[in-house]
Structure 1
Amino acid sequence: MTTITIATILLLLAIGIVAVLAGCPKENAPIESCCCLGFNTSVFNKRKSGVYTMVNFCGVKCYDAEVYCDTINGGGGWLVVQRRQDGSVDFNRTWVEYEDGFGELTGEFWYGLRALHCLTGQGGWEMRMDVKLADSTKVFLHYKQFKIASAEDKYKITIGGFQGTTTDPMAGHNRMNFTTIDSDNDQRINGNCAVFSLGGWWFNNCWHAAPNSVYQRNSGFYINNQWVTFLLIEIKVRPFQCII
Structure 2
Amino acid sequence: MNLDFIFINTFLLSVCVYVTLGADSWTCTANTDSNESTSTCKNLEKRFKTLEIQMKQVQKLLQTNGTNTYTTIDGIPKDCEAIYENGPRTDGMYMISPDGRCPFLVYCDMKNGGWTVIQRRIDGRVSFYRPWDGYVSGFGDLDGSFWLGLEKIHRLTRDGSQIYFDMENYDGSRDYAHYNVFTVHEAATAYRMNVDAFGYRGSIRELLSYHNNQKFSTYDRDNDANTNGNCVISHGRGGWWYNTCYMLGNLNGIYGKREVGGVGYYDGDHLQIKNVEMKVKAMHGVC
Provide TM-score, normalisation by structure 2.
0.67
Alpha-carbon distance in structure 1 between the residues aligned to 2:69 and 2:157: 19
Checking the alignment, whether the CA contact within 8 Å between 1:23 and 1:33 is kept in structure 2 is: no
Unaligned runs of 5+ in 2: 1-59, 62-66
Provide TM-score, normalisation by structure 1.
0.79
Alpha-carbon distance in structure 2 between the residues aligned to 1:52 and 1:96: 24
Write the letter of the residue equivalent to 2:163: M
Tell me the alpha carbon deviations over residues 90-142 of structure 1, each in whole angstroms, 9 at most, x when there is no partner. Answer: 00110111000001100111001111112211x23111111101221111111
Question: How much identity, in percent, do the aligned residues show?
Answer: 33
| Greater share of residues in strand | 1
Q: Which residue of 1 aligns with 2:252?
A: 212
Go from structure 1 to structure 2 and tell me whether the alpha carbon gap of 1:52 and 1:46 turns closer, same or farther (over 3 Å shift): closer
Unaligned runs of 5+ in 1: 3-18
**1:91 to 2:124 alignment:** no
Q: Which residue of 1 aligns with 2:30?
A: none
Tell me the alpha carbon deviations over residues 49-72 of structure 1, each in whole angstroms, 9 at most, x when there is no partner. Answer: 111122xx12225x3321111112
Q: Which structure's relative contact order is higher, taking Cα pairs within 8 Å and 6+ residues apart?
A: 1
- Which of residues 263, 266, 279 is equivalent to 1:222? 266
What is the CA-CA distance between 1:169 and the residue it aligns to?
Answer: 2.5
Checking the alignment, whether the CA contact within 8 Å between 1:141 and 1:165 is kept in structure 2 is: yes
Q: For residues 77-88 of structure 1, what are the structure 2 equivalents within 5 Å? A: 77-88=114-125
Matched residue SS, 2:136 = helix
Go from structure 1 to structure 2 and tell me whether the alpha carbon gap of 1:178 and 1:32 turns closer, same or farther (over 3 Å shift): closer
Alpha-carbon distance in structure 2 between the residues aligned to 1:48 and 1:30: 17
**1:106 to 2:140 alignment:** no
Write the letter of the residue equivalent to 1:47: R
Total equivalences in the alignment: 210
Q: Which residue of 1 aligns with 2:90?
A: 48
What is the CA-CA distance between 1:30 and the residue it aligns to?
Answer: 6.2
Matched residue SS, 2:233 = helix
Tell me the alpha carbon deviations over residues 142-179 of structure 1, each in whole angstroms, 9 at most, x when there is no partner. Answer: 11010011111111110113211111221211111111
Runs of 4+ in 1 over 4 A off after TM superposition: 29-32
Go from structure 1 to structure 2 and tell me whether the alpha carbon gap of 1:59 and 1:91 turns closer, same or farther (over 3 Å shift): same
